[in-house]
């Protein structure tokens, strides 16, 4: 049986390749193998999965994914980590052919060498929401996944209307998927220990809520509504859609004095559709 990475080996590799973890790239590496196996289990990774990992770092989660999934595609922005990853995979007894590493900024990824079926990642925290939305949008073969994010971001992603944390990430993500909380992860499993808490979010894709042109206008409405979340809808939307806003809200059957934080995705879609007419 192969072994996963532990704390000592992680520090040894980082020192050898000259990686001093930076906040800028959200480099907090998981040093606990049980946590990595737990994430893979919560994600329900299967042997025939093509797993996509964003930000593999030194490979803690990558090795846990390779224990189950047939193949893994890993996107890492830091060239030193991207070069080292296949060597670590090989040193741990996995067939290196099962891993493809792309050294690029995940926010700009437009194509992948194979169609991913599942996304499992400890996301770089400063870009976690845009990265998640980007991959939901661009890669429809991803059926489900689990991402680790800062706990406050996890709360925002799974929030329902009316809650203080409900906002544009919550609504936008539901265009493609159902999201739910999947537990917390202790700070002590990271090196270096972050000064924020972390949580897992699970998602399962459903049919997209509409066409691409409907999505673009709906997202513009969502952005306008939450740019000024304390304002009534008619006033928040008039900043972007001027005079047409109030009419569209009323025609969509929504109270124009309501606030964006009380609306479901289908309400934003209804407003977007009437605006388009």
Residues that bind ligand SAM (CB under 6 A): 25-30, 54-57, 60-61, 75-78, 81, 105-107, 122, 124, 127
| Least distance CB 77 / ligand SAM (angstroms) | 4
User: Which of 268, 190, 253, 277 is CA-nearest to residue 14?
Assistant: 190
Q: How far is the CB of 223 from ligand SAM (least distance, A)?
A: 22
Residue-wise burial string across 104-137, b where 16 or more C-beta atoms lie within 10 A, e elsewhere: eebeebeebeeebbbbbbbbbbebbbebbbbbbe
Find out whether 133 and 201 touch, Cβ atoms under 8 Å. Answer: no
- Collapse the DSSP code of 256 into the 3-class scheme (helix H, G, I; strand E, B; otherwise coil) and give the result: coil
Cβ at position 132, least distance to ligand SAM in Å: 12
Helix/strand/coil (H, E, C) string of 45-86? CCCCCEEEEECCCCCHHHHHHHCCCCEEEEECCCHHHHHHHH
Report in angstroms how near the CB of residue 215 gets to ligand SAM at its nearest. Answer: 23
Half-sphere exposure of 190 (CA within 13 A, CB side): 22
Nearer to ligand SAM, 21 or 181 (CB): 21
Nearest approach, Cβ of residue 277 and ligand SAM (Å): 39
The residue number whose beta carbon is nearest to ligand SAM equals 55
Eight-class DSSP state of 32 = -
Q: Which is nearer to ligand SAM, 80 or 164 (CB)?
A: 80
Cα atoms in the Cβ-side hemisphere of radius 13 Å centred on 74 = 33
Q: Pick between residue 31 and residue 173 the one whose CB is nearest to ligand SAM.
A: 31
Q: Which is nearer to ligand SAM, 60 or 174 (CB)?
A: 60
Which of residues 29 and 268 has its CB atom nearest to ligand SAM in the complex? 29
Task: Return the H-helix or E-strand segment holding 144.
Answer: strand 144-150
Three-state secondary-structure class, residue 225: helix
Residue among 29 and 176 whose Cβ is closer to ligand SAM: 29
Residue 198 CB, shortest distance to ligand SAM, in Å, is: 9
């Amino acid at each position: 049986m192969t072994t996963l990475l532990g704390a000592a080996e992680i520090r040894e590799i980082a020192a050898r390749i000259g990686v001093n973890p930076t906040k800028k790239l959200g480099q907090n590496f998981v040093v606990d193998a049980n946590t990595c196996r737990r994430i893979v289990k919560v994600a329900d990774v299967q042997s025939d999965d093509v797993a996509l990992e964003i930000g593999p770092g030194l490979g803690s989660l990558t090795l846990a994914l390779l224990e189950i999934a047939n193949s893994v595609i890993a996107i890492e922005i830091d060239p030193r980590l991207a070069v080292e990853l296949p060597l670590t995979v090989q040193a741990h007894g996995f067939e290196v052919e099962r891993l493809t590493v792309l050294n690029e900024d995940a926010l700009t990824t437009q194509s992948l060498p194979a169609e991913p079926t599942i996304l499992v990642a400890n996301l770089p925290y400063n870009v976690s929401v845009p990265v998640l939305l980007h991959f939901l949008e661009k890669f429809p073969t991803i059926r489900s996944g689990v991402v680790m994010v800062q706990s406050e971001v996890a709360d925002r992603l799974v929030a329902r209307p009316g809650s203080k944390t409900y906002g544009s990430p919550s609504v936008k993500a539901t265009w493609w998927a159902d999201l739910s909380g999947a537990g917390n992860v202790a700070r002590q499993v990271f090196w270096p220990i972050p000064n924020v808490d972390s949580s897992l979010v699970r998602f399962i894709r459903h049919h997209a809520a509409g066409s691409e042109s409907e999505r673009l206008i709906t997202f513009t409405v969502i952005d306008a509504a939450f740019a000024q979340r304390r304002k009534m809808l008619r006033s928040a939307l008039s900043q972007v859609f001027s005079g047409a806003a109030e009419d569209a809200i009323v025609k969509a059957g929504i109270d124009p004095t309501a606030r964006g934080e009380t609306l479901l995705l289908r309400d934003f879609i209804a407003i977007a559709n009437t605006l388009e007419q």
